[in-house]
């Protein structure tokens, strides 16, 4: 079965590789030896996801404390975001190091999230931070329950639609960013117009749909008995989606607050 996800991080080829056999029979043919203590499990991936989430939240709160004591939030956010991005790139090519890279990503991404949240709280709309956190948590729980009880089934058509929508969003953001650097063009998703708010709602929906594909990827990875380190790798991928979802909800709430 060809596993696919619209989360680029979870499309790593390691998700298509079962545990390699190291034993051969008398005729030289490989014999698959299944060591269930050294293969990926759903519970293992879930537990590691909670560990990473705890690290991210702890880092975010510490960053918030630093900002309240005079640290420049922009410096912290940019530093954490860049280093976190490097962690993702390395893990994409070296997933066997995920047990080290995933906690490092959560730590630095916590700095990024904490810095960005502090900017909104100190200079714009402090009340939206907890609203964004609650919105992200509720969205995650709802998506998990819908997937767990098979209300939403991750079919190939479902995957294709989400992949296409995600690619369109990424392309739009990239082109908008490049144009804003070299021209005076104002991207449509900036500001608080109804169109801008509509775009944010659409992006949040696509980010939420990513969660279904991530859940499915973790389940299929466990069925294929992938190596144990893939628990960290998949947990890291799920955290990436949650961070994206939180940022988009935060942006939407800021737009809505600015219209009051």
User: pTM to 2 decimals?
Assistant: 0.84
Structure tokens at 172: 């739009």
Q: Is the C-alpha dihedral spanning 244, 247, 253, 258 positive or negative?
A: negative
* Per-residue pLDDT at 188 exceeds 50: yes
User: In this predicted model, what pLDDT tens digit does every residue of 79-135 receive, in sequence order?
Assistant: 999 999 999 999 999 999 999 999 999 999 999 999 999 988 887 888 899 999 999
Residue-level pLDDT at 31: 42
- Whether 190 shows a pLDDT value over 60: the answer reads yes
166-178 pLDDT, tens per residue? Answer: 889 888 888 887 8
Distance CA 124, CA 78 (A): 19
pLDDT in tens, 25-75: 445 555 444 455 678 999 999 999 999 999 999 999 999 889 888 888 899
Return the closest-CA partner of residue 249 out of 117, 59, 114, 118.
Answer: 117
Confidence at 244, pLDDT banded by 50, 70, 90: very high
User: What is the structure's pLDDT at 106?
Assistant: 96
Assign 4 a pLDDT band (cuts: 50, 70, 90).
very low
Enumerate the β-bridge partners of residue 23.
31
pLDDT at 221 over 50: yes
pLDDT of residue 105: 96
Q: What distance in Å separates the CA atoms of residue 159 and residue 57, rounded to the nearest whole number?
A: 30
Give which of 117, 116, 94, 90 is closest to 105, Cα–Cα.
Answer: 90
pLDDT at residue 33, rounded to an integer: 47
Residue 12 has pLDDT above 80, yes or no: no
Classify 23 as helix, strand or coil. strand
pLDDT value at residue 39: 87
Residue 159 has pLDDT above 70, yes or no: yes
Mean of pLDDT over the chain: 85
In this predicted structure, what is the pLDDT of residue 28? Answer: 54
Q: Which two tokens stand for residue 156?
A: 């190939």
Tokens standing for 184? 């005076």
- Residue-level pLDDT at 13: 58
User: Taking residues 222-231, what's their average pLDDT?
Assistant: 90
Q: Cα dihedral angle (118, 120, 123, 127), rounded to 10 degrees? A: -100
Share of the chain above pLDDT 90, in %: 53
pLDDT of residue 3: 39
Q: Map residue 30 onto helix, strand or coil.
A: strand
Distance of CA 160 to the CA centre of its chain: 19
Angle, helices 98-123 vs 230-258, to 10°: value is 10
Return the pLDDT at 189. 75
pLDDT at 121: 86
């Amino acid at each position: 079965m060809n596993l696919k996800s619209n989360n680029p991080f979870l499309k790593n080829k390691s998700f298509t590789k079962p545990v390699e056999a190291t034993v051969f029979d008398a005729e030289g043919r490989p014999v698959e030896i299944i060591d269930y203590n050294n293969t990926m499990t759903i519970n293992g991936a879930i537990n590691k996801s909670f560990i990473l989430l705890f690290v991210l939240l702890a880092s975010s709160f510490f960053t918030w404390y630093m900002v309240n004591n005079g640290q420049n939030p922009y410096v912290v956010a940019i530093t954490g975001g860049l280093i976190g991005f490097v962690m993702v790139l390395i893990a994409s090519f070296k997933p066997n190091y995920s047990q080290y890279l995933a906690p490092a990503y959560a730590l630095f991404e916590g700095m990024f999230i904490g810095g960005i949240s502090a900017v909104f709280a100190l200079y714009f709309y402090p009340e939206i931070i907890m609203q964004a956190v609650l919105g992200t948590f509720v969205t995650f729980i709802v998506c998990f329950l819908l997937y767990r009880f098979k209300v939403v089934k991750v079919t190939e058509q479902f995957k294709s639609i989400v992949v296409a929508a995600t690619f369109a969003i990424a392309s739009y953001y990239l082109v908008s960013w490049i144009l804003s650097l070299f021209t005076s063009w104002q991207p449509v998703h900036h500001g608080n117009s109804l169109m801008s708010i509509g775009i944010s709602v659409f992006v949040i929906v696509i980010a939420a749909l990513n969660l279904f594909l991530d859940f499915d990827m973790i389940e299929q990875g466990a069925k294929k008995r992938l190596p144990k380190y893939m628990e960290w790798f998949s947990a890291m991928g799920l955290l990436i989606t949650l961070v994206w979802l939180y940022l988009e909800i935060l942006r939407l709430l800021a737009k809505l607050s600015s219209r009051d």
